[in-house]
Amino acid sequence: MLKKLSLFTLAMLFIPIIAWLNRWQWLLDTNLQYPNLDRGLLIWTEAGSTPYAFITCVLFMLWIMWLTRHRYSWLLVGFICASSILGTQIIKEGAKLAFKEPRPFVTQMFNTDSEQFYALSKIEQKNEVMEFATEDTMPIVSHQADELGYSFPSGHTIFAVSWLLLFSGFLLGQSGQAVFFSQIFAVFWAGLILISRLRLGMHYPIDLFVSTLIAWVFNLVMFIYVVPYLETRSLFKKRG
């Protein structure tokens, strides 16, 4: 279990590592010049944004339940999935309040005035961000104006990597085309979520790196300790 979850985690860590090696950074002058690419990533990133993240959770949970129907009870799968997503998001919220790091687009748009920007009301913040919108960049800037929270850590990254590790953890030891396709899809889906957060100016590479590790540690605990324990309890045992 440790080896497999770590392997999938490493695949996600390559994204911020590559960004670091290339010295990539979100710049206002250059990163709003490819609206078609950004619109595609915007649609993809919405899978981890409220309210669409709830739909993603329901679909992925049902998907895992179906794939593991002969091995785990639906109640155990549902409990672990819900615990993983809710638990990691609680950690994320606490960390954001503790570190209060401005998002890349805020830093670029308002330079040294980012602290003053966060002192404004949400409506005032949104109006300030929308001043940077053009006809081509309106969807992307609108997304930025709707996500005005702090940067570190990345909730979308924790969300995406957690689902990737839930797929890999529950499908450990299983084979077949459906299992293979599901794992490949989960890697592709999660990877694009991470890339979208960089591309849309929502996070720095360090945000993605640490967030991926948070999801890894949390889900390791779930699969190494919690799942084996729950399998011994009558409420969560597989029937039939």
In three-state form (DSSP H/G/I as H, E/B as E, the rest C), the secondary structure along the chain is CHHHHHHHHHHHHHHHHHHHHCCCCCCCCCCCCCHHHHHHHHHHHHHHCCCHHHHHHHHHHHHHHHHCCCCCCHHHHHHHHHHHHHHHHHHHHHHHHHHCCCCHHHHHHHHHHHHHHHCCCHHHHHHHHHCCCCCCCHHHHHHHHHCCCCCCCCHHHHHHHHHHHHHHHHCCCCCCHHHHHHHHHHHHHHHHHHHHHHHCCCCCHHHHHHHHHHHHHHHHHHHHHHHHHHHCCHHHCCCC
For residues 163 and 237, what is the distance between their CA atoms, to the nearest angstrom? 22
Residue 87: partners with Cβ closer than 8 Å, 6 or more residues away: 218
pLDDT of residue 235: 84
**Active site annotation includes 70:** no
Q: What is the dihedral of CA 49, 75, 84, 3, to 10 degrees?
A: -120
To the nearest whole percent, how much of the chain has pLDDT over 70?
A: 98
Closest CA to 153 of 14, 16, 6: 16
**Active site annotation includes 143:** no
Point out the catalytic residue in the list 92, 156, 197, 199. 156
User: Which residues of the chain have a pLDDT value below 50?
Assistant: none
How many residues are there in the chain? 240
pLDDT of residue 31: 65
Point out the catalytic residue in the list 8, 9, 203, 211. 203
Angle at 192 between CA 93 and CA 72, to 5 degrees: 70
Q: Are 106 and 114 in contact (CB under 8 A)?
A: yes
User: How far from the centroid of its chain's Cα atoms is residue 197's Cα?
Assistant: 9
pLDDT of residue 175: 85
